[in-house]
């Protein structure tokens, strides 16, 4: 079958784009989001602004915890990839999402961080989203075969796999094609781990 000419291919692309319906300026029925173009704006009008760290206020009842190890992982990610995930604010510099990123920014001694203002949300929406932002991500799964292929390719390309968030044991099991029980880091779990100290090197290891 002959390949389409460049002009034909270009027309196909333009035709596909024109077939995409234009975004509605009216929110879905039942939504509390203001219409596009309103004074408070909406998702289509979100703007990223850089604000000083000292001006940001953590949520006092934030139910999500961040260990020192995880904060260091976030800091390493920011150092490698940049601050790609802005901190979400409530309109008065109160943090809705991004407490771990704020801690990592302090560790990196950044002066300002990118933020997005979500003042168009109601108070109950803001508080609910503090939980939803964390929990919804945990509800996702993994295609283990695709994950193994991606990690294998990244390793061959010389990428640092320490930056992807899996620990050494998880990476080893994934690369070997073993069944992996992906775990969420639980800071309190360390209290139940018994350690034994090596008499030769002096380092402590899980028993």
Q: pLDDT tens, 125-162? A: 999 999 999 999 889 898 999 999 999 999 999 999 99
Is the model's pTM score more than 0.75? no
Q: What is residue 137's predicted lDDT score, i.e. its pLDDT?
A: 87
CATH of domain 43-138: 3.90.1530.10
Helix 168-175 × helix 144-156 angle, to 10°: 100
Angle between helices 99-107 and 68-81 (to 10 degrees): 70
pLDDT per residue as tens digits for the range 151-206: 999 999 999 999 999 988 889 889 888 776 655 544 443 344 344 455 554 544 44
Query: Could you give the residue range(s) of every CATH 3.90.1530.10 domain in the chain?
Result: 43-138
């Amino acid at each position: 079958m002959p390949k389409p000419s460049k002009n034909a291919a270009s027309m196909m692309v333009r035709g596909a784009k024109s077939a995409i319906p234009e975004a509605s300026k009216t929110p879905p029925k039942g939504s509390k989001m203001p219409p596009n173009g309103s004074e408070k704006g909406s998702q289509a009008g979100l703007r990223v602004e850089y604000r000083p760290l000292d001006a940001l206020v953590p949520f006092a009842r934030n139910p999500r915890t961040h260990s020192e190890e995880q904060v260091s992982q976030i800091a390493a990610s920011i150092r490698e990839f940049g601050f790609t995930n802005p901190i979400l604010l409530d309109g008065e510099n109160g943090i809705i999402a991004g407490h771990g990123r704020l801690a990592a920014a302090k560790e990196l001694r950044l002066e300002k961080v990118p933020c997005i203002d979500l003042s168009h949300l109601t108070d109950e929406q803001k508080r609910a989203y503090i939980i939803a932002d964390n929990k919804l991500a945990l509800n996702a799964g993994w295609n283990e075969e695709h994950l193994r292929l991606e990690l294998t390719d990244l390793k061959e390309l010389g990428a640092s796999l320490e930056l992807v968030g899996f620990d050494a044991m998880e990476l080893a099991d994934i690369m070997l094609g073993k069944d992996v029980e992906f775990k969420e880091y639980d800071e309190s779990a360390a209290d139940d781990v018994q350690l034994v100290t090596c008499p030769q090197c002096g380092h402590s290891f899980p028993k």
